[in-house]
Amino acid sequence: MPARSENLIAWGDCDAAGIVYFPKYFHFMNVAFQALMHNGGFGHRRLHDELGVHVPIVDAGAKFLSPLRYEDRLVVEAKVVHWGTKSFRIAYKGVRANVPVFEGYEARVWARIATDGTIATVAIAPEFKTAIAAAGG
Amino acid sequence: MPARSENLIAWGDCDAAGIVYFPKYFHFMNVAFQALMHNGGFGHRRLHDELGVHVPIVDAGAKFLSPLRYEDRLVVEAKVVHWGTKSFRIAYKGVRANVPVFEGYEARVWARIATDGTIATVAIAPEFKTAIAAAGG
Amino acid sequence: MPARSENLIAWGDCDAAGIVYFPKYFHFMNVAFQALMHNGGFGHRRLHDELGVHVPIVDAGAKFLSPLRYEDRLVVEAKVVHWGTKSFRIAYKGVRANVPVFEGYEARVWARIATDGTIATVAIAPEFKTAIAAAGG
Amino acid sequence: MPARSENLIAWGDCDAAGIVYFPKYFHFMNVAFQALMHNGGFGHRRLHDELGVHVPIVDAGAKFLSPLRYEDRLVVEAKVVHWGTKSFRIAYKGVRANVPVFEGYEARVWARIATDGTIATVAIAPEFKTAIAAAGG
């Protein structure tokens, strides 16, 4: 079962056409991934503070199937669909009351990020995979 | 020649890893498209106020090739790579001092958007295509 | 009793210092006001769709008392502290586990906003005041 | 003479009323401050990478005088109006073609920010004050 997160669409999430400004959907995917990690007991803080690791995105995309307005409720499901040695891929589905809103994906890497922003990938720790899987992702 | 827009990366564009938060890149694509329309004399305002039309996105994606920090300068090139009857596709390239930062795309439709957010596609006016082409897009 | 809304701080809400980027707090105030209106049965949609009215902000400010990181939980309390004929003032308190995070305010007006962005204030409907008061605001 | 920065209002900066979503104005102030520091040769990077210092905000506010739409040009003037030992205050004015848009302020501190987000204020280096003053701020 994929992990789920819920978002109430805010007035400020919408653009002048009265519907969600599409970069926000990538933010909502990010929020769903954060929830997935948190549910698995392996959040951004633990990743960074204990292991010095980040999970930057190297590829992302989405198809937008129906628009949302402010005051709508968006549920986002997140599921890891591929684990590589240093990278993994998450599939997302956004729905409002069972109406499909978007389908998207992110490819992320495990990496150390230097102060100057340089990204060096590292092997994903097995316990991270286990934690995410346990959380339904 | 594609249209170009320039962005100075702001402190607030970056996340806790010190690099641009990736949904912002989709915002920068949006800004580049706005510049392209503006250069062609056919901006969002004219589209909306004269024709009652919007250009919502139905598909978008990007590959992120190298990170940016605050105070970096990002140049985004935008070029329409496909014109359909009701939809079109824009290709984007982001560079910092000739270093590739991202490659992305958006598929957009011409549409009327009702007060309840419902989207109805309409045929793209020929003069819109002409204007965008004249602006290098 | 003031109305309360809860926010989980997202990775993307934070800046390169690892703490919430301060304009986001004004967004969280906005979200709390949206929740207050919603609880009173008089949300943005009803305001706009039925009455053609918006509630733009003419003055806002906040003192930031302690920082938040990603994965923190922020509770925002909202209470209307002044009702004028056409304007009203909301006071906000943000807390994390009883630690004060910020204190802020917004002054808003009831207004019609024309397509060109022009704002014309109008008298606040008594039923709006009643609805907000009933919701604890 | 205060330092000036210019912003083209993006489609995505506006809300469903078609005008700039007000938290964005605090972002634009932040951008103007970044420009002021950059003009003085003492940007965020130099502050952080050389001195380990940040300039978090402890108080901010603004009055909004007239609305902006997408495709408007906003010029923001920034000037430091008070220097304390550890804190300083910046006044901002936003204009569009000489029409006042907003007046705002930020109070900032010089500080070290620990990994857990804790803020410890430190005395402002004299060369920072000199650099900002030289840049017109």
Strand partners, D3: D78
Reported as a single tens digit per residue, the pLDDT across D62-73 is 999 999 999 999
* A50-98 tens-digit pLDDT: 999 999 999 999 999 999 999 999 999 999 999 999 999 999 999 999 8
CB contact under 8 A, C30 and A44: no
Q: Is pLDDT at B1 greater than 70 in this prediction?
A: no
Q: Is the pLDDT score of D52 beyond 80?
A: yes
> CA-CA distance, B21 to C14, in Å (whole number)?
9
CA–CA separation, D25 vs B57, rounded Å?
Answer: 26
Distances (CA, A) of C127 to A121, C37, C51, C108, C131: 58, 12, 12, 17, 6
Please, are residues A111 and A121 in contact by the beta-carbon 8 Å criterion? Answer: yes
With 80 as the cut, is the pLDDT of residue C49 above it?
A: yes
Mean pLDDT computed over every residue of chain D: 95
pLDDT digit string (tens) for A96-132?
Answer: 998 999 999 999 999 999 988 899 999 999 999 999 9
With 70 as the cut, is the pLDDT of residue D51 above it?
yes
- What crossing angle do the helices spanning C23-39 and C44-51 adopt, rounded to 10°? 70
Residue D1: pLDDT over 80: no
Q: Which chains touch B (3 or more CB pairs under 8 A)?
A: A, C, D
Least Cα separation, residue C44 to chain A (angstroms): 8
Q: Which residue has the tokens 């990496």?
A: A111
pLDDT score recorded for residue B61: 98
- Tell me what pLDDT residue C87 has: 98
Structure tokens at A62: 């989405």
Alpha-carbon distance C51 to nearest alpha carbon in chain A (angstroms)? 16
**Beta strand segments in D1-127, E:** 3-8, 57-64, 73-83, 87-96, 99-109, 111-113, 119-121
Check: CB of residue D122 under 8 Å from CB of residue D110. yes
The total number of residues written for chain D in this structure: 137
ipTM value > 0.90: yes
For residues D80-105, average pLDDT: 97
Output the pLDDT for position C1. Answer: 65
B88 φ, ψ to 5°? -155, 160
Closest CB from A14, A23, A115 relative to D15: A14
| Type of residue at A30 | N
Q: Which residue from C18, C27, C118 is facing D23, i.e. has the nearest CB?
A: C27
Residue bearing the bigger pLDDT, C51 or D115: C51
Contacts of A46 (CB under 8 A, 6+ apart): none
Kindly tell me the sign of the dihedral angle through the C-alpha atoms of D76, D79, D82, D86: positive
Q: Do B27 and D44 touch (CB under 8 A)?
A: no
Q: Assess whether pLDDT exceeds 70 at residue C56.
A: yes
Q: How far apart are CA D112 and CA C17, in angstroms?
A: 9
| Closest CA of chain C from B16, distance in Å | 4
Q: What is the pLDDT of residue A1?
A: 65
The answer to whether A23 contacts D16, with C-beta atoms less than 8 Å apart, is no
pLDDT for the residue D47 = 94
Q: Average pLDDT over chain C, rounded to whole?
A: 95
pLDDT in tens, B12-43: 999 999 999 999 999 999 999 999 999 999 99
Q: Tell me the Cα Rg of chain A.
A: 16
C89-96: long-range pairs with CB below 8 Å, 24+: C90/C29, C90/C33, C90/C36, C90/C137, C92/C29, C92/C32, C92/C62, C93/C2, C94/C25, C94/C28, C96/C66, C96/C68, C96/C72
- Residue C137: pLDDT over 70: yes
CB contact under 8 A, A44 and C12: no
Q: What is the pLDDT of residues B38-81, one digit of tens each?
A: 999 999 999 999 999 999 999 999 999 999 999 999 999 999 99
